[in-house]
Amino acid sequence: MRDGTSGLPRERDARWAWARRPLWPWLLGLTVVGCGGYWLLARSGKQAPAAGDLAARPVAQGVPVAVATTRRGDMPVQLNGLGSVTAFNTVTVKSRVDGQLIRVAFQEGQLVHEGDLLAEIDPRPFEVQLTQAEGQMARDAAQLRDARVNLARYRELLAKQLIARQQVDDQAATVGQHEGTVKMDQGLIDNARLQLTYARITAPISGRVGLRLVDVGNMVHANDQNGLLVITQIQPIAVLFTIPEDNLPPVLSKLRAGERLPVEAYDRAGQNRIGAGYLLTTDNQIDQSTGTTRLKAVFDNQDGALFPNQFVNVRLLLDVRKGTAIVPVPAIQRGPQGTFVYVVKADKTVEVRPVTLGPATGTDVSIESGLSPEEIVVVEGMDKLRAGSTVQVRKPEGDTAGQRPSA
């Protein structure tokens, strides 16, 4: 009994000591085991779908780009310049006599022809002057006839030695005086008729009439500064434009050879052609402040599209390059080493190709070296390209010049 009773307290003390041991090592172990199991399950869950979707995942198609085919063609050699339209002739119509304006025979903005009546000055004062001159002429002409008759009589009497020669000479001088007077009278008559003609103001050139500067009823004078109206000749019309002095020698060479160089005028945006003409001449000096020289071109302007003082972009056709390689302007890229293009090879990869540029137009540019006809170049989507990049041809967004291969 004592041994059994004495063993019970020891067993109870052992269990109590086991219960008082710390629990955190067990909790830590359970946590590590749980995290490891969760990681294994998650990994196995991810790998299984990836293996199942591997066949359905699309293969990378490359960088989407738009391309164009290099073509062989004729490229115009053009000189571009800024210009302004100017009237071929400009005339300020003034009255050549003093008087009252009694009639205006034109409408503002009207196209008139040379010799058309524009305005009329009161002609009555000039008619009176003409009548006076004609009356004076009649009187002096009668005196001249009388003097000539007397001279003839004196010469007959001198032949009979009935009068002295001095008397005949005096009568001959009198006849000369009357002849001078009659000639002066004729001048007065012609002047009066001329003033009467000037009372009718006619168009000195053909052109477009501007705004009326004087109204009917006003007194006008020959020394008025503003005049009655302004006429501008717009058919033909001229365009003055400038080119750099370095481009002047080939132009002068063409002009000396007698060639007529075509010139085209475009609007402010440089997109729409509004006239076609030819180069007339160049200025006789170079502007040192700008390093440019002025040229003058002539346009028929039958449709009236060109207007005096209008701003235009001018393209002077200097020559035409035959059979050159041509690509769209967007295909040209520029870097530290110069100009280059991205050429698409047969394996759908791109090659960086340095090129030498030739003459260009608004949409196309010629290639002097580095590119051959029928080669394919990138015109859109080159931002992400590098040498050797794989590309996927797509439909271009804009209207890029040149022939494009099908995707």
Question: Would you state the pLDDT for residue 16?
Answer: 47
Q: Is 400 helix (H, G, I), strand (E, B) or coil?
A: coil
Q: Are 188 and 133 in contact (CB under 8 A)?
A: yes
Question: Would you state the pLDDT for residue 359?
Answer: 87
Q: What is the maximum alpha-carbon separation in the chain?
A: 220
Nearest-10 crossing angle of helices 165-198, 124-159? 160
Q: Which two structure tokens, joined as six digits, stand for 310?
A: 């209008």
Ordered DSSP codes for 220-269: E-TT-SS-SEEEEEEEEEEEEEEEEGGGHHHHHHHHHTT---EEEEE-TT
Q: Is 318 helix (H, G, I), strand (E, B) or coil?
A: strand
Rounded (5°) CA angle 343-344-350: 80
The residues, any chain, with a CB within 8 Å of residue 179's CB and separated by 6 or more, are: 144
Question: Would you state the pLDDT for residue 2?
Answer: 44
What does DSSP assign to residue 393? E
Question: Would you state the pLDDT for residue 401?
Answer: 46
Q: Is 128 helix (H, G, I), strand (E, B) or coil?
A: helix
Rounded (5°) CA angle 28-32-36: 170
Question: Would you state the pLDDT for residue 179?
Answer: 95
CA nearest neighbour of 84 among 234, 236, 241, 231:
241
User: In one letter, which amino acid is 390?
Assistant: T
Q: What is the dihedral sign for C-alpha 354, 360, 364, 368?
A: negative
In tens digits, the chain (407 residues) has pLDDT values of 444 444 445 555 555 454 555 555 655 666 655 665 555 555 554 444 444 444 444 545 688 999 999 999 998 888 999 999 999 999 999 999 999 999 999 999 999 999 999 999 999 999 999 999 999 999 999 999 999 999 999 999 999 888 899 999 999 999 999 999 999 999 999 999 999 999 999 999 999 999 999 999 999 999 998 899 999 999 999 999 999 999 999 999 999 999 999 999 999 888 899 999 999 999 999 999 999 999 999 999 999 899 999 999 999 999 888 889 999 999 999 988 899 999 999 888 999 999 999 888 878 999 999 998 899 999 998 888 888 889 888 765 554 444 444 33
**How much is the pTM?**
0.65
Question: Would you state the pLDDT for residue 385?
Answer: 87
Question: Would you state the pLDDT for residue 270?
Answer: 83
Q: What share of the chain is helix, strand, coil (3-state, %, to 5)?
A: 35, 35, 30
What does DSSP assign to residue 384? G
Question: Would you state the pLDDT for residue 13?
Answer: 53
Q: Which two structure tokens, joined as six digits, stand for 288?
A: 């040192």
CB atoms within 10 A of CB 285: 8
